[in-house]
Amino acid sequence: MSDIMLNTPYASPPGTSRAATAQSRRLVAAWLFSVCFMIWIMVGIGGYTRDSGSGLSIMDWAPVTGIIPPLTQNAWNRVFALYQTIPQYRLLHPGMGLAGFKALFWPEYIHRLWGRLIGLVFFLPLLALILTRRVERRLIPRLALLFVLGGLQGAIGWFMVSSGFDPNSTAVQPWRLCLHFSFAMVLLAAILWTALTVLRPVPARIPGAKRLKITTHIAATALVLTMLAGTFVSGTHAISVFNPATGAGMGAPPPGYPHLGFFTDRAAILFNHQSLAALTVLAILTTTVMALRGRVPAPVRDAGLMIGGLVILQFILGVTALASKFIDIGVAHQLNAVLLLSAMIYMIHNLRGATR
């Protein structure tokens, strides 16, 4: 019976309001899943923007008028002149021409444009769903709060970017990058959890799965810590210390560890991420084995297989990104991490009704 309850959306009794019908819940959930997908794409765009050094190419924050890119030669000259005033240009790209600047400009512009599109895709359907009474009243305050938090994420993004304009800096501060990414993951988790709850509002009782639920939460916590540590790897380009010839960055503690700066020394940052990643792989694979061996509904077993496969892929992508230093592999590593986090959230949601 638990399999049926987990696989089938909660049935609506006759005479329920339009917002509470199964059709309306599926519509609201599909909209929220679409927003989650857009946030996932945003992570990929943001990862490429960061790894390619494009994030400081736009010197002003114009949430409304910034949707229009430079359309004339004078407009391009103006934004390029602004970029030439910051240390990144003088120290990393001296003498770079307008063509080189455009190569930096477009990834950051697309990143900001996609953020605006996410806001529109969230707000306009929300307004339509409220006006057509497709969304339950109890959800409206939560959804409105999520929209406001989405706007706050844009402000945090500018707070991050502005740190790169400091006279002594050529990049954004890693802790601000971590804050920006963390807030994005909070939004993703909140929207995904809301969508899953809209689709299946009543938890299925799963006897004997309490230990699996606890283990899943531990594995999810380890994953989150690993992802946060990964933002410091990206923010400091810590993979640059990797050197197979000397053994640096190969998973062993660097000389002087743990007295090195955990958030400033690149070798320590890379080792921290690698250590947490190893613990995360172990925790998630343990969760997968428990899900497969336990008497749990099919959706829980499927989620267990999903997280197991994704964490193995994540490990492969991480090693490949470290060894190759290819931007595309690094972006794929970040995107897969978000998929893995989403799968963990899905599994935790399915285990809401786990009991001893």
Do residues 338 and 44 lie in contact, with contact meaning Cβ atoms separated by under 8 Å? no
Q: In this structure, is residue 198 part of a structural domain?
A: yes
Q: Which pLDDT belongs to residue 13?
A: 52
Same domain, 300 and 273: yes
DSSP state of 23: H
Query: Domain for residue 7, yes or no?
Result: no
Which residues in the chain show pLDDT less than 70?
1-16
Cα-flanking dihedrals φ and ψ of residue 206, to 5°?
Answer: -125, 95
Tell me the three state secondary structure of residue 167.
coil
Look at residues 145, 169, 202 and tell me which one is the last residue of a structural domain.
Answer: 202
- Give the pLDDT confidence score for residue 4 in this predicted structure: 36
Separation between Cα atoms, residue 39 and residue 187, nearest integer Å: 9
Do 60 and 197 sit in the same domain of this protein? yes
Q: Tell me if 332 is assigned to some domain.
A: yes
- Is 170 in the same domain as 243? no
154 plus 216 within the same structural domain: no
Domain count, the chain: 2
- Asked if residue 9 belongs to a domain, the reply is no
Are 269 and 329 in the same domain? yes
Straight-line distance from the first to the last Cα atom of the chain, in angstroms, rounded to the nearest whole number: 18
The verdict on 211 and 324 lying in the same domain is: yes
C-alpha distances in Å from residue 241, one per residue of 13, 228, 254, 268, 336: 61, 19, 10, 10, 23
Mean pLDDT, the chain, whole residue set: 91
Domain termination residue (choose one: 202, 222, 255): 202
Residue 38's identity, in one-letter code, is: M
For residues 61 and 179, membership in a common domain is answered with yes
Kindly state whether residues 163 and 217 are assigned to the same domain: no
Q: What is the pLDDT of residue 16?
A: 54
Q: Which long-range contacts (CB under 8 A, 24 or more apart) does 131-136 make?
A: 133/17, 133/18, 133/19, 134/18, 134/19, 134/24, 134/27, 134/28, 135/19, 135/24, 135/28, 136/17, 136/19, 136/20
Residues 180 and 314 in one domain: no
Asked, for residue 216, whether it belongs to a domain, the answer is yes
d(CA 30, CA 27): 5
Question: Are residue 255 and residue 308 in the same domain, yes or no?
Answer: yes
Give domain status of residue 6, yes or no: no
Domain that holds residue 94: 18-202
Residue 88: DSSP 8-state: I
- Listed residues 170, 202, 234: the one ending a domain: 202
- For 247, the token pair is 């053994």
Is 2 domain-assigned?
no
210 found inside a domain = yes
pLDDT 10s digits, 68-99 = 999 999 999 999 999 999 999 988 899 899 99
Are residue 155 and residue 63 in the same domain, yes or no?
A: yes
Contact 129, 56 (CB under 8 A): no
Same domain, 95 and 211: no
